[in-house]
Amino acid sequence: MGPLIYLDNNATTPVVPEVLGAMEPWLWGGFGNPSSGCRLGREAAAAIDTARSQVAALAGCQSEELVFTSCGTESITTAIQSAVASQKRHIVTSAVEHSATLRICEDLAGKGFEITRLPVDASGQLDLDELKAAIRPETALVSLIWANNETGVLWPLEKIASLVQKTNAILHIDAVQAFGKIPLCLEGLGVHFMSFSGHKLHAPKGVGALYINRRVPFTPFLRGTQENGRRGGTQNVASIVAFGKAAEIAAAHPLEPTLRDRLETSLLATIPGCCVNGDRANRLPNTTNLSFDGIESEAALILLDERGVCCSAGSSCATGSGKPSHVLKAMGLTDARAKSSLRLSLSRLTTPEEITRATEILPAVIEKLRAVSLADSPVAFS
């Protein structure tokens, strides 16, 4: 097996040396508690302040509007719980959310909330007229993903924000996949809450942030004095510093679609019965989701892994479930086509050489799987 070709960056990204270098001192000498008044504590608090400004610069918001959390899931949970603290009992979300949003909405449905799950079209796009029609006076919250983790499809954030702004509902956006991959300016946008996660942009796993618009009422999820009373729990200083550094680097290195496009174009040209899932014009620059006629993605993942290519079949959270992706199903794909899909996601560390090798390995693996399934019982889709 040759060197690893990591094409699973929507699942998580490697920590880059500059980020590791920035966080390391806070695991050794700089171990102070940022809430403590001693010198070590004050230094840790100052390091968090710097990280907050770095993340705020990437988000285009004020530092005070950011609260550090333990992950994207905690940010999402906090935003949703806070938004539904009013008397209103209706939530609008979509059928293609990440499991973090899906699960909490299921819990809230069990507690008597009415949930409207907006459908998407064949390209994974949301119908804004349907969104508008779904919002009612008793709608507490609209919670929508910005960039889909499986397909990379991007929804029109500004249009969504201006539409929800005309109502009394609170708007939460899950920007975990988009943050650091495409530009963002929260100032004046009209979004109330936005969720971020460090490990999608080369910081370690286990650190996130929640944007809380300074004009929105907020009820903390974890009670305590830290983060200005908005998130209890001693901060994970080293990981927060890492997130800040990663945000600073992301701001300086915008992601280009060049390598993703090269990979996609080559696979479409060389593999018959291969097609892209999702809106190709409005997508993250690093993601492609492809279906391959007549194969099972779980089998493809094993063969690809043996040949050094790491990727996934849809969301990493659903790996091994054997179920077709809820995102692809919501887009109207048949079970067979949904179960034959692979998500290839690049990062700014992906090299042209890796893409060249991937364009050789993938067709060979698909051909091998098709030969096996032809000998067995072929399943084809149109």
Q: Which residues bind ligand PLP (CB under 6 A)?
A: 71-73, 98, 100, 145, 149, 174, 176-177, 197, 199, 208
* Closest separation in Å from C-beta 220 to ligand PLP: 18
Closer residue to ligand PLP in complex, CB, 186/303: 186
Residue 367 CB neighbours (<10 A): 15
Closer residue to ligand PLP in complex, CB, 90/98: 98
38 is catalytic: no
Residue 60 — left, alpha, or beta (φ > 0 → left; ψ -120 to 50 → alpha)? left
* Cα 110 to Cα 98: distance, rounded to the nearest angstrom: 19
Closer residue to ligand PLP in complex, CB, 52/199: 199
Residue 305 CB neighbours (<10 A): 13
From 193, 93, 212, select the one nearest 143 (Cα to Cα).
Answer: 93
From 209, 223, 227, select the one nearest 54 (Cα to Cα).
Answer: 209
Closer residue to ligand PLP in complex, CB, 71/303: 71
From 259, 277, 273, select the one nearest 355 (Cα to Cα).
Answer: 259
CA dihedral 173, 174, 178, 182 (to 10 degrees): 10
* Closest separation in Å from C-beta 310 to ligand PLP: 15
* Closest separation in Å from C-beta 117 to ligand PLP: 16
Residues 6+ apart with CB under 8 A from 64: 214, 228
Helix (H) or strand (E) segment spanning residue 370? helix 352-375
Give 126's DSSP letter: B
Cα-to-chain-centroid distance, residue 324 = 19
- Catalytic positions are 317
